[in-house]
Amino acid sequence: MYLEHFGLHEYPFGLTPDTSYFFPGVGAQAALNTVLVALENGEGLIKIVGEPGSGKTILCRYLLNQMEGGRFVTAYIPNPNLSSAALTQALLGEFGGEFQRSAAYGLTKALEMRLLELAHEGKRAVAFVDEAQATPIDSLEALRLITNLETEKSKLLQIVLFGQPELDTKLADPAVRQIRSRIAFHDHITPLTAAELPAYMSYRLNRAGAARSLFTPRAVGKLHKMGRGLPRYINILAHKALMLAFGEGRHEADVRHVRLAGKDTPGAKLSLFDRF
């Protein structure tokens, strides 16, 4: 729509979790470091929490990409709202195992056998569970039991939970106190600060081919306030602001364009002045 007008080869503020646009802000980098350290230490359960739109999914996908082809074998569960049996079967399938219904052992045993095969090959199995707050209580308990699978020296499976703050609420339930006590490493993805946002904007614009900034400094400041530092909302507002600037034939979005974009965006933080 506005690519040629602004000299771009792709949209810089898309909502799909494109890992080439992963920006290592303070919060995201801290969470990334936490996961990497925990995995190196062989911890069975790791938890990363963040507000909706804070960048959990792109961090999860970034980690998956970084681990491809190395000593880690990964599984990705994007929707864990599954029964304990279905979740175990999903993990088994992700790790390339098969379950024979005629076999004398169950799903968990089949998963254990597949994980042992990977361990004998010198591979370390890691499962990334996105939107973990949607995991039923029984399935959380199943995950805990799966992390009990181990050799004499290490866990057969490490699990990283990515979830909204509701995950902490769910883990406060006495019914899952055992899994809560097993989480040795955890972190919270904090929003982008006002000082970080100019670098975030420049990074995405440069990746998309922009030769210069397409937002005035005041517009960037307004983006931070309206988006509350959350990348998803900032991306939505920035995209709409560029559309408005393009519609007026302008080559730079200003604070007025951001304010208009905010009025059209549910969840944007509007001041009393912004509403009129």
**Of 171, 189, 207, the domain-final residue:** 189
Quote the tokens at residue 161: 């939970």
Yes or no: say if 159 and 127 are a contact pair by the CB < 8 Å rule: yes
Q: Same domain for 87 and 210?
A: no
Q: How many domains does the chain have?
A: 2
Express each pLDDT in 26-54 by its tens digit.
999 999 999 999 998 888 899 999 999 99
- 76 membership: H or E segment, kind and range: strand 72-77
pLDDT of residue 272: 57
* 153 CB-near residues (< 8 Å, 6+ apart): none
Q: Which regions of 175-255 does DSSP assign to beta strands (E)?
A: 183-189
**Residues of the chain with confidence (pLDDT) below 50:** 102, 104
**Of 189, 219, 249, the domain-final residue:** 189
CATH assignment of the domain containing 252: 1.10.8.60
Q: Same domain for 57 and 103?
A: yes
pLDDT of residue 105: 59
Any domain includes 116: yes
pLDDT of residue 104: 44
Q: Same domain for 148 and 42?
A: yes
pLDDT of residue 148: 85
Q: Same domain for 182 and 215?
A: no
pTM (predicted TM-score):
0.91
Yes or no: say if 14 and 134 are a contact pair by the CB < 8 Å rule: no
Q: Same domain for 15 and 57?
A: no
Any domain includes 184: yes
Q: Same domain for 216 and 260?
A: yes
Q: Same domain for 179 and 225?
A: no
Give the range of the structural domain holding residue 138, as residue numbers without chain letter: 26-189
Any domain includes 164: yes
**Of 160, 189, 218, the domain-final residue:** 189
- Phi-psi label, residue 31: left if phi above 0, alpha if psi -120 to 50, beta otherwise: alpha
* 145 CB-near residues (< 8 Å, 6+ apart): 108
Express each pLDDT in 46-102 by its tens digit.
999 999 999 999 999 999 998 877 789 999 999 999 999 999 999 999 999 876 654
Any domain includes 168: yes
Yes or no: say if 88 and 128 are a contact pair by the CB < 8 Å rule: no
* 171 CB-near residues (< 8 Å, 6+ apart): 47, 140, 179, 180, 183
Yes or no: say if 158 and 125 are a contact pair by the CB < 8 Å rule: yes
Q: Same domain for 122 and 219?
A: no
- Residue closest to 2 by CA, chosen among 245, 261, 260, 256: 245
Any domain includes 174: yes
